[in-house]
A = this chain, B = another copy of it.
């Protein structure tokens, strides 16, 4: 199942990679897709929202909940 979240502060490919890495580190089986234009992150693999939130915030971006 894929869940999409609004994440503020991602402005370039480096940001996208950073968020992807942070989530993948917290949940190695997750498949992460970042949509920079819409400021959303989609996580496939049944990862708890709180795990995504902590990873996103640890990476320095703002987790805004379900997109």
Where the two chains meet, the residues of A that have a C-beta atom closer than 8 Å to any C-beta of B are 9-15, 17-22, 25, 58-61
Contacts and interface: CB of A to CB of B under 8 A. Distances in A.
The main secondary structure of chain A at its interface with chain B is helix
A18 B60 CA distance: 5
A33 B22 CA distance: 21
Contacts of A25: 58
A19 B18 CA distance: 9
A38 to B, nearest CB: 15
A18 to B, nearest CB: 4
A18 B21 CA distance: 11
Given A11-B12, A11-B13, A25-B58, 19 more contacts: A9-B14, A10-B14, A12-B12, A14-B14, A14-B15, A14-B60, A14-B61, A15-B15, A15-B18, A17-B60, A18-B18, A18-B59, A18-B60, A21-B58, A21-B59, A21-B60, A22-B58, A22-B60, A59-B59
